[in-house]
Structure 1
Amino acid sequence: MLLLGAACPAVAADGEPDRDFTIEDPRITESSGLAASRLHPGVYWTHNDSDDGPYVFAVDSRTGRTVATVTMRGIGEPRDVEGISIGPDGDIYVGDIGDNLDGTWNHVWIYRFPEPKTLRDTAVTATQYDVQYADGPRNAESLMVHPKTGRVYIASKNENGGGLYEGPGKLTTGSMNVFRRVDEVPWVTDGAFSPDGRSLALRSYFSARVYAFENGRLGESRAVAAPFQRQAESVTYTADGTALMFGSEGTRSGVVRVDVEGGGKPDEPGGSGGTGDGQEQGKPSGNGSPGQGGSAGQEDDGKGSVGLGAVIIIGVGALWFALRRKRGRGQG
């Protein structure tokens, strides 16, 4: 467990955006989602898990410091905020979709507000949408807004695998928004569309995959060299689509950049699409240590098996403590 603790912090880059960084704000202790700003290069929006209130934070990847705190008004008391995404309209969508008892809530919520043009502490009036699943309540931590169609997707979380749920063409207030299961997914803690909308990245505690995405359905996939983190929670693409940023919970939690092999700028053919060969792609930008970009998913070439075994042991311990912590909080 000492090794586990030492593996967490990432080192902020020297003034360069979209590189490994540490979230410095002492208020952000349970960063559960990430979304790359569309208006402010190098800035990432995040939020705490449950019991924190209606707050969203803008963190500058150049320094790891919070440059804006947004307080959402006009909504109920958030229960278990787990995901965040930005739509093609420039609005920020916040998913109050967690349900650690897999059926406690007969509905969940999505909050929406325009991304602020100026980075400063502010209060905004957010729109609140009521959400139900067509096949009954479930736990979820992944909210993804398609960057071209604006349709909202949720990936449920279950030890035996979850589902990808598609929302209505347009979310509405005053009535229930029913999300319908359209595909199967593994156990995921977060997901994100590439800026061109052709790929969907899904991560779990120990791995990540990028799926080709077309006509609202998952296609071929490839593994991505996800970093090993203390409690792997979040993922987002950089604004240019050339890399994935992986985040975790905890005080001074690290965010690790993983370059996407073959990643291109939005709308370039094949920029972020899956290769379908099942091979692991991507390269962490850190120095290879677990907390700074080391992969927990690379194949063993016969060397360093002791190190791989240590990572597995530590990983099992991390998962056990994470599950105990999540379930012990009840609704949290």
Structure 2
Amino acid sequence: MGDVVFRALGAVVAAACVLLAFPAQATADDGQKRLFTFKDPRITESSGLAVSPTHDGVYYTHNDSSAAPTFYAVDGKGRTMATFQVRGAQARDWEAMAATKDPATGRGVLWFADIGDNLDGAWPDVSIYRVMEPQTLEDATLPATRYRFRYADGGRNAEGIMINPRTGRLYVVSKEFAGSVYAAPKKLRTDKTNILRKVASAPLMATDAAYAPDGSSYVIRTYFSATLYRPSGEMISRVSMPELKQAESIAYTADGKALLTGTEGPRSPVYRVPLPDNARSSTTPSPTSSTPTKNTTPASHTAADPGQTRAAGTGLTAKNILIWLAAAATALGTITFIARRTR
């Protein structure tokens, strides 16, 4: 078994060399600009990010794990406008949020995902909360509707959710070396656990995801870059991201022409990154392509598809590669140690 492990380590090193050999699709500063910095000292681990669907120039965020069920509304300069507590919710490990508009009432709807699971299956189920967007931006406590979820193929860690605005369907994106996009049932139930089923592949170690406001595309963020897809799961383009301390969040701007991305840490910045022309919201997908196609593999990373392997490397820096290699080497070293001890 030891020989197998060392061969695997060699493959990791070789893969990293391939990644370094491919340049990113766009330079790290192509039209990118810092939109604002969170000013509130309470926002220390901004993990979710969403643009208000009804209040112009308003953005929402929340902290990561070990925090109260709280979210913040900030303006275009990063100043907190209001703080909201969510009643009837827990914050075991909030990792993502999304914002939609109720087609029946026109009111905004906010979704908060308590889906983090660093032990990859320690929790029997995970929860996502639905909160009606406040019509007045002043401190308040808001009621939540709780939906419980379980993965059809076993528990896993996840940090991304997105909702197709055309169909209203919710998706969870897992954070793994071979990640996946999971679709929730068309109709969510509060009286039973909803089953999440894999419908597409996701890039390595996805940290967030979002749907375009018009439903024409979706984006999956990783620590290193972002990848755009059509609703069918077909890859559109890769987008290099600004180098951040710990890239955790992504969202589309209200007009669908750019992406917003943020990171954890006190006084963390949010950047605006323009979308490539072939991924603007004016692109209209086929009416039948509203759901990622099951078993599509636009974001899988196999040696048989150099283009897909390259996708994982878009925007990587030498520092990123070294960090990734160190983590991989540590994991493989642990496997080797266990193998030798259990002979």
Match of 1:157 among 175, 179, 185: 175
Determine the C-alpha separation between the residues in 2 that align with 1:319 and 1:144: 30
Aligned positions of 1:1-332 closer than 5 A = 20-61=35-76, 63-75=77-89, 77-89=90-102, 90-158=108-176, 160-187=177-204, 188-213=206-231, 217-262=232-277, 268-270=282-284, 297=314, 311-313=317-319, 316-317=322-323
Count of residue pairs the alignment pairs up: 267
- SS of corresponding position for 1:20: strand
Give 5+ residue unaligned stretches, structure 2: 1-32, 103-107, 290-297, 299-306, 331-343
| Deviation readout 1:199-252 (Å, 9 max, x if unpaired) | 011110011110111xxx311331112111010110000011011001000001
| Deviation readout 1:67-101 (Å, 9 max, x if unpaired) | 111100023x3200001001231210100000011
- Relative to structure 1, the CA distance from residue 316 to residue 250 in structure 2 (aligned partners, 3 Å threshold; closer, same or farther) is farther
Determine the C-alpha separation between the residues in 2 that align with 1:240 and 1:107: 35
Q: Are the counterparts in 2 of residues 110 and 130 from structure 1 also a CA contact under 8 Å?
A: yes
- SS of corresponding position for 1:86: strand
Determine the C-alpha separation between the residues in 2 that align with 1:204 and 1:265: 20
Paired AA for residue 190 in structure 1 = D
Paired AA for residue 66 in structure 1 = T
Determine the C-alpha separation between the residues in 2 that align with 1:31 and 1:316: 25
TM-score under structure 1 length normalisation: 0.75
Q: Are the counterparts in 2 of residues 191 and 235 from structure 1 also a CA contact under 8 Å?
A: yes
Determine the C-alpha separation between the residues in 1 that align with 2:73 and 2:34: 16
Determine the C-alpha separation between the residues in 2 that align with 1:95 and 1:256: 22
Paired AA for residue 83 in structure 1 = A
Q: Are the counterparts in 2 of residues 206 and 315 from structure 1 also a CA contact under 8 Å?
A: no
- Relative to structure 1, the CA distance from residue 119 to residue 233 in structure 2 (aligned partners, 3 Å threshold; closer, same or farther) is same
| Deviation readout 1:131-172 (Å, 9 max, x if unpaired) | 1111111000001111121110000011x2211000011211
Q: Are the counterparts in 2 of residues 86 and 147 from structure 1 also a CA contact under 8 Å?
A: no
In the TM superposition, residue 118 of structure 1 has moved relative to its aligned partner by 1.1
- Relative to structure 1, the CA distance from residue 241 to residue 47 in structure 2 (aligned partners, 3 Å threshold; closer, same or farther) is same
Determine the C-alpha separation between the residues in 2 that align with 1:38 and 1:88: 6
TM-score under structure 2 length normalisation: 0.72
- SS of corresponding position for 1:32: strand
- Relative to structure 1, the CA distance from residue 67 to residue 171 in structure 2 (aligned partners, 3 Å threshold; closer, same or farther) is same
In the TM superposition, residue 31 of structure 1 has moved relative to its aligned partner by 0.5
Alpha-carbon RMSD across the aligned residues, in angstroms, is: 2.6
Give 5+ residue unaligned stretches, structure 1: 1-17, 280-295, 299-307, 325-332
Determine the C-alpha separation between the residues in 2 that align with 1:142 and 1:319: 24
- Relative to structure 1, the CA distance from residue 116 to residue 316 in structure 2 (aligned partners, 3 Å threshold; closer, same or farther) is farther
Determine the C-alpha separation between the residues in 2 that align with 1:260 and 1:250: 26
Paired AA for residue 130 in structure 1 = R
Determine the C-alpha separation between the residues in 1 that align with 2:111 and 2:139: 18
| Deviation readout 1:35-57 (Å, 9 max, x if unpaired) | 11011112111100011111011
Paired AA for residue 174 in structure 2 = S
- Relative to structure 1, the CA distance from residue 315 to residue 32 in structure 2 (aligned partners, 3 Å threshold; closer, same or farther) is farther
